Amino acid sequence: MARILQKSVFILAVLLPLISAFGRFKHGRPKHGMLGAPPIKEKYNLPPNMWFEQKLDHFNDADLRTWNQRFFINSTFYTPGGPVFLMIGGEGEANPVWMVDGAWVEYAKEMNAFLIMLEHRFYGKSHPTEDMSVDNLQYLSSEQALADLAHFRTVIGQQMKLDKNKWISFGGSYPGSLSAWFRLKYPHLVVGAIATSAPVQAQLDFPEYLTVVRDSLATSRVGSKCNDAIQKATNDIDILMMHMTGWQTLTKIFNLCSPLNGSSINDVANFYETIAGNFMEIVQYNKDNKGFEGGSNNVTIDTLCDIMANESLGTELSRYAAVSALLSDGECVDASYEKMIADMRETSWDSEAGVGGRQWTYQTCTEFGFYQTTDTDQQPFGQHFPLSFSIQMCEDIYGKQFNKTTNQAGVNFTNTNYGGREIAAYNIVFPNGSIDPWHALGITKSTDMYSAIFINGTAHCANMYPPSPDDPPQLTQARTQIKDTIQKWLSQ
């Protein structure tokens, strides 16, 4: 065990300068939200916060309560009569860096567009209620968010004399789905929609996520050795999990903040999911030209797989622990289920949960599912965080009424409401990356109604980030195809 710890410390010392500021990864969502932001540059002059009075409940005319929703504008490139580009906020704080950088800004420069970004209700600084109690979270839904967009677009369009202009919506990840659904539900308000990395198919059990992770890891320069080493490390963990001495060993090897309780099925599941999440997060954002809270994007699939395949670094288990040490930034790893549930039960906007974890988990428990489970043996991470684990989380955080039956009913309604992969709307572009696990719930084939762009070798929302000299040609081509499609919509 001492050798394992020594190897972990060595790897951490060598690779720590490369680390991005990754947060806790849960339900496919890092701490900041699923869409990152372009790296912050000193030359940026970011726009100020602006506020829009919004209804709390768009579907109850008797409820007159209102709240202030945050938005940003950039009219630098606009000329009268030009289009309006509307960026949709999602399950994290809206970052004003997007107002001055990103592919859509390059499109705006060419097309003289007016840029607007609207923050999603219950995220960032857009607080519709005094706290995030379960009673208040009933006003958090994709339907309410779409109604926010519709009301905002209508009123702001009139106030800023942009109501006769052609509007196009943009979004990535969950906001990518919102962008497509906005075009579906309010086609008179936007002439087209860019829906990047959009998981439009709600699905309770999502084991396909890990099979894409497996396939993506196999594209590393060490090939199948990466998955083979993860599988061997997982097998070793399974053996250690059989006795108390093994729990103590795992606590030390992975530098856990509190002792691992191998007799608790939820603690065990949370531990396995936490250490697997290191690979899930890096795969999801592999080589994306983005910045997480000021970090870089130098930790890639190759970085992790080089560690897993390097026999000189010790056993497969020691290498697995070294990956965890690398991505924990030298801090202890919090894998306690009880601690995680306690944090997620916090209802204050100032709590750790207020960053977005409580809100997004609520949406998965009521609308989407999206649970990345081990309910398939076609992946190397074991069988220890099945669907039942995620359902238990819903019940423990929000109450017994948030169970499998109600969760599945919410998923069914979402697909009935929006159409899932059978969405029936024109003038939408669905870009997806082959490395990104979320493409398994997205649209990757074009029809007569909409276009799909499947970008080989790219990850989550890659086409949204600023162009880079390191971009593969297929990514550059995808951005050009999106631009050409927008110009076509504007010419109609």
Active site residues: 173, 436, 460
Question: Could you give the CA distance from residue 95 to residue 438 in angstroms, rounded to a whole number?
Answer: 22
369 φ/ψ angles, rounded to the nearest 5 degrees: 70, -100
Q: At what angle are helices 225-240 and 316-327 packed, to 10 degrees?
A: 100
Task: Provide the 10 A C-beta neighbour count for residue 339.
Answer: 14
Q: Which of 380, 468, 472 is nearest to 433 (CA)?
A: 472
Question: Could you give the CA distance from residue 366 to residue 7 in angstroms, rounded to a whole number?
Answer: 43
Angle value at C-alpha 149, between 146 and 151, nearest 5 degrees: 110
Task: Provide the 10 A C-beta neighbour count for residue 412.
Answer: 12
CB 384 within 8 A of CB 217: no
Task: Provide the 10 A C-beta neighbour count for residue 466.
Answer: 15
CB 212 within 8 A of CB 199: no
Query: Looking at this protein, which amino acid is placed at residue 14?
Result: V
Question: Could you give the CA distance from residue 403 to residue 147 in angstroms, rounded to a whole number?
Answer: 27
Residue in the block written with tokens 């250490």: 275
Query: Looking at this protein, which amino acid is placed at residue 111?
Result: M
Q: Which of 6, 7, 2, 68 is nearest to 313 (CA)?
A: 7
Is beta strand 50-55 parallel, antiparallel or unpaired with respect to 66-74? antiparallel
Contacts of 62 (CB under 8 A, 6+ apart): none
Question: Could you give the CA distance from residue 406 to residue 379 in angstroms, rounded to a whole number?
Answer: 29
CB 70 within 8 A of CB 94: yes
Radius of gyration of the chain (CA): 22
Q: Which of 262, 231, 230 is nearest to 245 (CA)?
A: 262
